[in-house]
Chain A
Amino acid sequence: NAGVTQTPKFQVLKTGQSMTLQCAQDMNHNSMYWYRQDPGMGLRLIYYSASEGTTDKGEVPNGYNVSRLNKREFSLRLESAAPSQTSVYFCASSVIMGTDQSPLHFGNGTRLTVT
Chain B
Amino acid sequence: DQQVKQNSPSLSVQEGRISILNCDYTNSMFDYFLWYKKYPAEGPTFLISISSIKDKNEDGRFTVFLNKSAKHLSLHIVPSQPGDSAVYFCAAPLPRTNFGNEKLTFGTGTRLTIIP
Contacts and interface: CB of A to CB of B under 8 A. Distances in A.
B101 A42 contact: no
A100 B49 contact: yes
A105 B42 CA distance: 11
B106 A43 contact: yes
Interface residues on A, range: 20 to 34
Closest 8 CB pairs of A and B: A106-B43, A98-B102, A103-B46, A100-B32, A43-B106, A42-B108, A42-B106, A100-B49
Contacts of A104: 36, 44, 46, 104
Contacts of A41: 108
Contacts, number: 60
Interface of B: 2, 6, 9, 31-32, 34, 36, 41-46, 49-51, 89, 91, 93, 96, 101-109
A47 to B, nearest CB: 10
Contacts of B46: 103-105
Contacts of B32: 100
Contact of A100 (B41, B51, B105, B107): B51
A66 interface: no
A75 to B, nearest CB: 17
A109 B101 contact: no
Contacts of A4: 43
Contacts of A107: 43
B44 A90 contact: yes
A68 B99 CA distance: 20
